[in-house]
Amino acid sequence: MRDRNREHDAAGRFAPSPTGPLHVGNLRTALLAWLFARFAGARFLVRVEDIDHSRVRPGIEEAQLDDLRAMGLDWDGPIVRQSERMGLYEDAIAWLDAEGLLYPCYCTRKEIRAAASAPHGISNADRYPGTCRELTRAERVEKEVAGRPPALRVRAEGNRIEFRDRVLGHQEAQTDDFVVRRNDGAPAYQLAVIVDDADQGIGEVVRGADLVDSTPRQILLCRLLGLPIPRYAHVPLVLGPDGQRLAKRHGAVTLADRAAAGEGPGDVLAWMARTLGLAEPGEKPGIEDLLSRFDPERLPRVPTVWSPGA
180-209-172-99 Cα dihedral, nearest 10 degrees: 10
When pLDDT is cut at 50, 70 and 90, the band that residue 309 belongs to is low
User: Mind listing the pLDDT tens digit for each residue in 211-224?
Assistant: 999 999 999 999 99
pLDDT tens, residue by residue, 234-253: 999 999 999 999 998 998 89
Res 130 pLDDT > 60 = yes
Residues annotated in the binding site for Zn(2+), as ranges? 105, 107, 128, 132
Half-sphere exposure of 152 (CA within 13 A, CB side): 21
Residues 233 and 165 sit within 8 Å (Cβ to Cβ) = yes
Q: Given this model, what pLDDT does residue 115 score?
A: 53
Show the 3-state SS of 107-123.
Answer: CCHHHHHHHHHCCCCCC
Q: How far apart are CA 38 and CA 155, in angstroms?
A: 38
- Which domains can be identified in the chain, with CATH numbers? 12-85+188-304 (3.40.50.620), 88-161+170-181 (3.90.800.10)
Instruction: Summarize the annotated binding site for L-glutamate as residue ranges.
Output: 13-17, 49, 189, 207
Instruction: Please state the φ and ψ torsions of residue 80, each to the nearest 5 degrees.
Output: -105, 135
Asked if the model's pLDDT at residue 269 lies above 60, the reply is: yes
Residues at the binding site are 13-17, 49, 105, 107, 128, 132, 189, 207, 248
Contact status, residue 222 vs residue 198, Cβ threshold 8 Å: yes
pLDDT at 110: 78
pLDDT in the model for residue 252: 87
Question: What is the SS3 assignment for 47?
Answer: strand
pLDDT at 240: 94
Q: Which residues are annotated as a binding site for ATP?
A: 248
State residue 126's pLDDT score.
63
Distance CA 300, CA 49 (A): 28
Mean pLDDT in the chain? 91
